Structure 1
Amino acid sequence: MESTARPGGRVRDERVHEYPDPGGIFASCGQSYRLFRRRHATAVVDFLLHQLPRAPRVLDLACGPGTLGLDLAERGAQIVGVDASQEMLDEGRTWAGQRGLSEAVKWCCAPADEVDRLDGIGSFDGVVIADAFHWLDRERVLAALDKIVRPGGFVAVVGYRAPGTQREWWHPLLVRLREKHLGAADLAGPATAYIAPGVGHEEVVRASPFASVRVLRADYQRAYTLDELVGLQRTFAYSSAATLGVKQDAFETDLRTALRIVQPHGTFTTTLQAAVIVGHRP
């Protein structure tokens, strides 16, 4: 899709409608997300902390169970985690308690584009949106964040895999199995089709109030056992237990069989490139 946006201007997105139930996209994913999603690369956490003052106040938006926010809390940040899924927030509270971080994190259930209207939300030194920006109404979210990010603060869009870089080598196998059991369309949870963003995240950030951009890209390795890789599929909206329903057992049986064939020793490793897009006001 072409765009003629200039810094600070508007980017037209191809989304034709919003998700009717954003909190339901990741139904059934909460516990699996906490157990099987990998934490972000150390270079990502270090880079974000380098942008922040000491003892910062950080908003983890569309936080899930706090996969990134809790790592920042362990390094001294005060975190507010906001997500549309109460299930995810409940898992976040559990995880924070296990890590001794209950006092460092506040949890709020709300759609991302309404975060500026939450009672007592206050202001923030930085906002992180990790592996979630593609689910959001990005323009509306950035406009809302402009109201609550302090002068000199930032918005950071974090992805475990930089757009356009190579996916995990087993990704085509997963796609074929999803198509076998669910059909060709990517799903946004049990009842909704995925709406692909029309333009890249960096372009959207550059056209927002946070138009002064710096980008980190960092290589790192990921490794999974067979059980972990199967469990990881339960964390995705398009292959969650709620989405697969009665097909889950058959899907996971086929997945285990295929993975054992391609990797009999049961260890699955790959090199990925993380991406962090940090936008400040000009």
Structure 2
Amino acid sequence: MTTCSGGPAADSAAFGEALFGTTTAEYARYRPGVPDAAVRLLAATLHGVPAPVLLDLGTGTAQVPRALLSVVPRLAHVDLVDVNQAMLAQAVAELKEAAPGACSVSAYVGEAHTFTSQPPGRGPDLITCCRAFHWMDRAAVLEMADRVAAPHATVAVMGDGSLWTHDAEWTGALRELIQTYLGPDRRAGTRGSYATPGRTYEDDLAASPFSELREHRFPVARAWTPKTVVGNLRSTSFARPKLFADRHEAFEAEARQLLDVHAKNGVLREEAVFTVLMARRPGSSS
């Protein structure tokens, strides 16, 4: 069963469009997935829960729920939350294909902190947020999580940066090329420039009801090609096609040439660290 709900959907959809546009195909195809070790870590939090409920914030195209379904087939319900309506539609389709009829799915169009449980009283056992926490009102999100989550619930905030933040010769050259087209600041869709959060996620969690915190770090090695890098850029807030207007075709041509020069045997290497912050209410750990 799939249901859809939301808060001020028009405003939320506009917010999501401003950041990422409607490039759901590129997002689904070119965004890196969740490392297997991280998926197993998340799955372990649901051990002993007979019919788990998952709440995935900033779900994008549902990478986290799809990965979890492969190792926790007994998931009973998944709540998907995102401000981008097109991505939510893609996410629901992906989940229905991954587990047809195995669990119910609800899609909520809106900012994460405005989410309310549907139906009330069946709180999530696991709340996940992957590569999206920096876009949110983090204190308000954690207050919402405290209202809706089951007493034993875990909040998992995770991510590994992006090609903008990765420190390598080829990503540095690519970043400089983007800046020649769009200016020195990192763009945040059509909303302007990206502002780095004023405090760490660890501080956010420590100040929240979910202050019992553990950090887990998983090294990740990725092999990109010029084609997959360009596809990934189309899905980002800092290099989506609309930002370049009629210069996007020229940018992509230059980007492909630059990446071809830096690629070794057609491959561009990325060495990243996928970090998972696992947080619980004090005293709730089993």
**Same fold flag (TM > 0.5):** yes
Specify whether residues 102 and 222 from structure 1 end up closer, same or farther in structure 2 by C-alpha distance, changes over 3 A only.
Answer: farther
1:12 aligned residue: none
Distance 2:154 2:88 in 1: 24
Q: Which moved more, 1:69-78 or 1:94-103?
A: 94-103
Distance 1:22 1:281 in 2: 31
Distance 1:192 1:209 in 2: 32
Contact 1:63 1:81 in 2 (8 A): yes
Contact 2:69 2:98 in 1 (8 A): no
2:197 aligned residue: 197
1:5 aligned residue: none
1:158 is the counterpart of 2:158: yes
Output the TM-score relative to the length of structure 1.
0.85
Once superposed, what is the RMSD of the aligned Cα atoms? 2.2
1:66 is the counterpart of 2:62: yes
Contact 2:61 2:88 in 1 (8 A): yes
Contact 1:52 1:126 in 2 (8 A): yes
1:255 is the counterpart of 2:255: yes
1:229 aligned residue: 229
Specify whether residues 20 and 159 from structure 1 end up closer, same or farther in structure 2 by C-alpha distance, changes over 3 A only.
Answer: same
> Structure 1 unaligned runs (5+)?
1-18
1:35 is the counterpart of 2:34: no
Distance 1:113 1:227 in 2: 36
The Cα offsets for residues 17-41 of structure 1, whole Å up to 9 and x where unpaired, read as xx99532211133221101111111
Q: Secondary structure at the match of 2:221?
A: strand
Q: Which has the higher contact order (CA 8 A, sep 6+)?
A: 1
Percent identity (aligned): 27
Show the 5 A alignment for 1:37-56.
37-53=31-47, 54=49, 55-56=51-52
Contact 2:69 2:99 in 1 (8 A): no
4+ runs deviating over 6 angstroms: none
2:85 aligned residue: 86
The Cα offsets for residues 104-163 of structure 1, whole Å up to 9 and x where unpaired, read as 3332212111013x653541101000000001010011011100111111111011249x
Specify whether residues 161 and 239 from structure 1 end up closer, same or farther in structure 2 by C-alpha distance, changes over 3 A only.
Answer: closer
1:148 is the counterpart of 2:148: yes
> Structure 2 unaligned runs (5+)?
1-11
Contact 1:139 1:208 in 2 (8 A): yes
Alignment partner for residue 23 of structure 1, among 10, 16, 36? 16
Specify whether residues 214 and 170 from structure 1 end up closer, same or farther in structure 2 by C-alpha distance, changes over 3 A only.
Answer: same
Residue 220 of structure 1 deviates from its aligned partner by 1.8
2:8 aligned residue: none
2:107 aligned residue: 107
Corresponding residue pairs, total: 261
Distance 2:276 2:136 in 1: 17
Contact 1:138 1:204 in 2 (8 A): yes
1:13 aligned residue: none
Distance 1:246 1:151 in 2: 52
Output the TM-score relative to the length of structure 2.
0.84
Q: Which moved more, 1:119-128 or 1:220-229?
A: 119-128
Contact 2:223 2:268 in 1 (8 A): yes
Q: Which moved more, 1:67-76 or 1:127-136?
A: 67-76
1:57 aligned residue: 53
Residue 252 of structure 1 deviates from its aligned partner by 0.8
Distance 2:101 2:160 in 1: 25
1:274 is the counterpart of 2:269: no
